[in-house]
Chains A and B, each alone.
Chain A
Amino acid sequence: MGNRYDAIIVGGGHNGLVCAAYLAKAGRKVLVLEKRHILGGAACSEEIYPGFTYSVCSYVVSLLRPQIIRDLQLSRFGLSVLPLESTFTPYPDGRSLMRSADPAATRREIASFSARDADVYSIFGKAMGQLARFTKPIIDEKAPNPMSWKPAELMQLLKMGKRFRELGDDLSLLQYKLTTMSAVDFLSEWFETDELIAPMACSGIIGTMLGVKSPGTAYVLLHHYMGEIDGSSRAWGFARGGTGAISMAIARSAEHFGAEIRTNAGVQQIKINRGQATGVVLEDGTELDSKIVISGAEPRLTFLGLVGESELPDDFVTQLKRYKLRGSSGKVNLSLDRFPDFAARPGTGLHMRGDISIAPNTDYLERAYDDAKYGDFSKKPFMNIVFPSLLDPDMAPEGKHVMSIFVQYAPYHIKEGPSHWPEKREAFGDAVIDTLAEYCPTLKDSILHRQVLTPWDLEVDFGLTEGNIFHGELSLEQLMFQRPASGWAQYKTPIQSLWLCGSGAHPGGGVMGAPGQLAAKEILMGGAC
């Protein structure tokens, strides 16, 4: 059995590649199979139009685990992360707000709205920093299993409880509020300025089919502060060469450690023999055998698409069917002939070298959500914008620019049915550009090319079921020991020798790499291959 692999990994997204690299580094014979012609999954860079490179889907990096960068020597393999230095919010009335890594400057900016909020902002930051220290270990260890009596599992739960106790009365209450409240309610306990609350709150709704006033959306605010304690000055960064450069660095590292990687190799089926995964069948009919199969694909796709219902326990199938995906966002990538000035603050200064939020007030964000709730894309969407070409000039020809626009809400489930998205694609793109033109009057005249990705496209082109960018909503009941299913949150699955390593596993989505690393750790620890 010379050509039998220790592990076959389904999907060459960043998590699959991380998992492969760790297994290869431990001496395992690993094969990664990617359906597309390029690696990275939703973390990819593509030159869609000559000279213009897009981070097609995922466009910023947050919380890429430092230990992964270190263990896999990603810097050596070409990874270079540039910090996003500011968060800029323009308002329709011509005012604007920039929050940056410079506390004094940020204070001045906020004070022009409210002196009180300017004071509170740094106190708030400190409190959140303390909570981040509590929460951060959670994304660096497997989810506890509260159903188990194993001493190690009980110890993990106890430790978590102890850490929580150590926060003290005030901070543990704050942590509880953060986990249960809506982003707006939570922030309103601290701040009085709606213009400040709105752009802060929207980090809580990215990728989810909820509004800033929906309970449970406050939690993601913490991610921002978790990034800061990782050592970088900001939580968000941009990889030189686009997000795909991260995947490429991981892939080179994996190959360096001996992993084999194939593109244009879509998996059609995971082979199961007597409840045990034995390999895969490719779309071209090729069969490949391995000791274990690890899926970086989204869980529902993995089990209901590649394994088949008949192989699975009933209650597991029920849980998978209940698993909420409900993509809510789209992406518009633009090639620009020249830089489109924001009327509220022209120029390409510091405020354009970070991310730009179109989130003028909380009512605006809720109205955007209301459209989606009843099955339509937002007429006036929330947008998060980055100009990659300002950070890395190689992304566009000299003097020209690329503009990456994350758009929410674009619900997968539109009232006409998801398959009707292609007919609405351009109307959706128009709504985005029209809304943006209110802030950038010259934008429309600068556009050379426009790429519009709807949640339908994300599903069809990138295998993101229902267009969900996180492989499943990051809602309370789908996190930790319930991701993706209660009792199956430690990368193991009801099928023997079949494992999960993607964003649908703990700790969830984003370009963190954590699910891939933790899955590899569990697999190696248990001696599964």
Chain B
Amino acid sequence: MGRSVVIGGGANGLATAVTLAANGDEVTLLEAQSELGGRCALLADTTTVQPWAVTQLGLDIDWTDAPATKLVGAQVLRTILPDDESLAPWRKQVESFRDMIVSLSTHAAPDIRQQGAVSTLLPAVVSGFKLGRARGLELARIGPLCAEDWLDEWNIDRATQAALILPALRGSWMGPRSPTSALAVLFHHALSGSAIKGGMDALMVALRKRADGAGVTIQTDALVTRVQLSNGSVSGVELADGSVVEAERVVSTVGPRRTLLELVDPREVSGSVQQAIGSYRSRGIVAHLECSVDTPLFPGAEHVVVADDTVMIERAFDDAKHRRLPTRPALEVFQSDGRAQILAYGAAYDLDGGWTDSAREQLHAAIMAVLGEHTDTASMRNVVLRTPADLEKELGMTGGHLFHGEFSLDQFLSFRPHPSMSNHESGIEGLGLGGCGTHPAGGFTLVQGVLAGR
């Protein structure tokens, strides 16, 4: 019991605040923007939100079937249905790992340090036991594979593969031909389920309602500039306007890097923590475009993947890898009434020459050109394009990365963001880490909020 501050008013920030308040804390939530939501406003995909987290938080939302993904490419136009027969054998394999992946992702990550809490190992041991050795070995085989190789094994054509792979790559710095991208795809699909009725807006409303009900004090336009420490433990936070909010406990959901390298006095952060967090990789690879439309760009579809095949995605990855503008970015389009949100894959955060106005225009033109191959773009109005640099600047997302940190073998589970911080600890007494940059990896799950709160 005591006073807690949660930094960041995104969905995970709210979830953390609700969890802390339910624990009896007096909670203040501080959001830098004038509205809550953070980057959530940019993410239309709610299918990876874990029902477990929603239940824990007691949120009042309804679920609905996940929208079928429509695939649009040079030679293809098909809708990927959940009961698609050609995908059934592959889906069965994903299904066989689902329980384990969900279980690992809804418990605290195993604390693998020598002096670590042994109890955190239990869920992993239990789910490993349930999985059995044969399937465990199969997982060890699949994990390191390239996504394309894995899906090739199931005789899925490379165009359809694109629709299955692209959504999983939003949060990683990989292409379909990068080893371990199979694991990203497996995690994404194992964690995906129903969508939230009313989408992200409905989720935010429910979270807000729950936070208000729990007595969380919410301050917007409250940019935190410093986490204050006295004698090595947290005493409060300082805001941009100079005011101070006192608290014994602070949980930051604005990303591990930003929290430990920018919000805390560097003298208070040990060299090893600085080094560990300094090498935590969060290279954004996706640009975001939103617009209003009179008629849907792709009628009858909420989620559209625009990619010819895996090669188009891989080439877009190459562009990002070489820090050049993507000539043909692969696109994910989310449509709801009168509005479209587009994630353009292949936009490097560290573009050579930087994200100048001209670079942004060229990216805009490239996105429009890819769209223009398949639909009439004339009805797109009020277009706002955010490059990874904009995402970082406007929303404080380190590296412009959608999930505060890449999904990779060395940055997931106990390793997210670092084994010494695997329990949402920061190494500083009273300062907790939450948000997507912490366990579990694999996209927007809302689980981080609950676990961090605990």
CA distance A374 to B176 in the complex (A): 13
**Residues 195-244 (chain A) with a chain B CB within 8 angstroms:** 210, 213-216
Which B residues lie within 8 Å of A367 (CB)? 322
In the complex, whether B314 has a CB less than 8 A from a CB of chain A is: yes
Answer whether A214 and B178 are a contact pair too, CB < 8 Å, given A366-B322, A477-B143. yes
The one of A169, A215, A366 that contacts B114, using a Cβ cutoff of 8 Å: A169
Nearest-neighbour CB distance to chain B for A498, whole angstroms, equals: 23
Check if B177 sits within 8 Å of A213, measured CB to CB. Answer: no
Cβ of B179 under 8 Å from chain A: yes
B141 partner residues in chain A, CB cutoff 8 A: 477, 482, 486
Residues A216 and B322 in contact, CB atoms below 8 Å apart: no
Query: Are B410 and A373 touching (Cβ within 8 A)?
Result: no
| Shortest beta-carbon distance from B439 to chain A in Å | 15
CA–CA, A213 and B321, complex, Å: 9
Residues of chain A within 8 A of B409, CB atoms compared: 180-181, 215
In Å, the complex CA distance between A146 and B142 comes to 16
Please determine whether A177 and B419 come into contact, CB atoms closer than 8 angstroms. no
A508 CB to closest chain B CB, in angstroms? Answer: 15
Contact A180–B180 (Cβ < 8 Å): yes
Closest chain A CB from B213 CB (angstroms): 42
Chain B 419-447 interface 0/1 with A at a Cβ cutoff of 8 Å (1 = within): 11000000000000000000000000000
Give the residues in chain A near B279, CB-CB below 8 Å. Answer: 188-189
Question: Given contacts A210-B179, A216-B144, are A374 and B311 in contact (CB under 8 A)?
Answer: yes
State whether B133 touches A181 (Cβ < 8 A). no
Chain A residues with Cβ under 8 A from B113's Cβ? 169
B1 interfacial contact with A, CB 8 Å: no
* A215 & B178 in contact (Cβ 8 Å cutoff): yes
In this assembly, does A105 line the interface, its C-beta being within 8 Å of a C-beta of chain B? no
Output the nearest chain B residue to A181 by Cβ-Cβ distance: B410
> Which B residues lie within 8 Å of A215 (CB)?
144, 174, 178-180, 408-409
Q: A146 near B410 (CB under 8 angstroms)? A: no
CB pair A475–B410 under 8 Å, yes or no, is: no
Cβ of B415 within 8 Å of any chain A Cβ, yes or no, is yes
User: Chain B contacts of A26 at CB under 8 A?
Assistant: none
A477 touching B178, Cβ below 8 Å: no
Q: For the complex, count residues of B whose C-beta is within 8 A of A.
A: 32
User: Contact string, B131-153, partner A, CB cutoff 8 A, digits 1/0?
Assistant: 00110011011111100010001
- Which partner residue on chain B sits nearest A486 by CB separation? B137
The interface residues of chain A lying within 8 Å CB-to-CB of B401 are: none
Judge whether A370 is part of the interface by a CB distance below 8 angstroms: yes
Distance in Å: Cβ of A460 to nearest Cβ of chain B: 26
B114 touches A214 (CB 8 A): no
> B416 contacts the other chain (Cβ, under 8 Å)?
no
Binary contact readout B249-280 vs A (1 if CB under 8 angstroms, 0 otherwise)? 00000000000000000000000000000010
Contact A366 B321 (CB under 8 A): yes
The answer to whether B415 touches A176, judged by C-beta atoms less than 8 angstroms apart, is yes
Report A412 CB to chain B, min CB distance, Å. Answer: 15
B189 at the interface (CB under 8 A from A): no
Contact across chains for A147 and B137 when beta carbons are under 8 A apart: yes
Among B138, B140, B153, chain A packs the most CB atoms within 10 A around the CB of B140
Q: With A and B bound together, what is the CA distance between A181 and B174 in angstroms?
A: 12
Bound form: Cα–Cα A51–B114 in Å: 61
Chain A residues contacting B410 (CB-CB under 8 Å) are 176-177, 180-181
Judge if A526 is at the interface, Cβ distance under 8 Å. no
B261-317 interface with A by 8 A CB criterion = 279, 281, 311, 314
Cα A181 to Cα B410 with chains together (Å)? 7
A216:B114 contact, CB within 8 angstroms: no
- Could you say which residues of chain B place their CB within 8 Å of the CB of A173? 415, 419
User: How many interface residues does chain A have, given as a range?
Assistant: 20 to 34
Q: How far is the CA of A161 from the CA of B269 in the complex (A)?
A: 32
**Pair A214/B322 contact, Cβ less than 8 Å:** no
Q: Which residues of A contact B133 (CB under 8 A)?
A: 146-147
Query: Does B318 reach chain A (CB closer than 8 Å)?
Result: yes
Q: Does A322 contact B (CB under 8 A)?
A: yes
Min CB distance A4 to B, Å, is 38
Q: How far is B114's CA from A168's CA once the two chains are assembled, in angstroms?
A: 7
Query: Given the complex, which residues of A lie within 8 Å of B137, measured CB to CB?
Result: 146-147, 481-482, 486
Residue of B whose beta carbon sits closest to that of A487? B137
Contact with B along A146-161 (1 / 0, CB 8 A): 1100000000000000
Q: Tell me the bound Cα distance from A188 to B153 in angstroms.
A: 34
A185 on the B face (CB < 8 A): yes
Q: Determine whether the beta carbon of B144 is less than 8 Å from that of A476.
A: yes
User: Given the complex of chains A and B, what is the CA–CA distance between A180 and B407 in angstroms?
Assistant: 12
State A364–B21 Cα separation when bound (angstroms).
53
CB <8 Å contact, B140 and A477 = yes
Determine how close the nearest CB of chain A comes to the CB of B216; give it in whole angstroms: 36
Interface residues of B in 149-163 (CB under 8 A from A): 149, 153
- Tell me the smallest distance from the CB of B160 to a CB of chain A, in Å: 20
Query: Which A residues from 302 to 342 make CB contacts under 8 A with B?
Result: 322, 324
Given contacts A168-B114, A216-B179, A476-B179, contact A181 B408 (CB under 8 A): yes
Q: Which chain B positions have C-beta within 8 A of A370?
A: 318
- Give Cα A181 to B173, complex, Å: 12
Min CB distance A160 to B, Å, is: 15
Bound Cα distance from A146 to B137, whole angstroms: 8
Give B182's nearest chain A residue, CB to CB. A477
Q: Across the interface, which residues of B come within 8 angstroms of A374, CB to CB?
A: 311
Query: With the chains together, A168 CA to B144 CA distance in Å?
Result: 25
Report the Cα distance A165→B116, complex, angstroms: 13
- Chain A residues near B178: list those with CB within 8 A: 214-215
| Shortest Cβ distance from residue A378 to the other chain B in the assembled complex, whole angstroms | 14
A287 within 8 A of B: no
Q: Does A363 contact B (CB under 8 A)?
A: yes
Nearest chain B CB to A324 CB, angstrom units: 7
A222 to B177, CA, bound (A): 24
Chain B residue numbers with a CB within 8 Å of A366 are: 321-322
With both chains docked as a complex, state the minimum distance between the C-beta of B451 and any C-beta of chain A, in angstroms: 21
Distance between A158 CB and nearest chain B CB, rounded to angstroms:
16
A36 vs B408: C-alpha distance in the bound complex, in angstroms? Answer: 45
A476 contact set on B, CB distance < 8 A: 143-144, 179
Q: Using known A-B contacts A147-B137, A181-B410, A189-B279, determine if residue A477 contacts B145 with beta carbons closer than 8 Å.
A: yes
Please state if B114 and A373 are interface contacts (CB–CB under 8 Å): no
7 contacts between A and B (CB under 8 A): A146-B137, A169-B113, A180-B408, A181-B408, A216-B144, A324-B149, A475-B179
Give 10 closest A-B pairs by Cβ, nearest first.
A476-B144, A180-B409, A189-B279, A477-B144, A216-B179, A215-B180, A477-B141, A215-B179, A180-B410, A177-B410
16 additional A-B pairs beyond A146-B137, A147-B133, A189-B279, beta carbons within 8 Å, are A146-B133, A147-B134, A169-B114, A176-B410, A185-B281, A188-B279, A210-B179, A322-B153, A324-B149, A366-B322, A373-B177, A373-B318, A477-B143, A481-B137, A482-B140, A486-B141
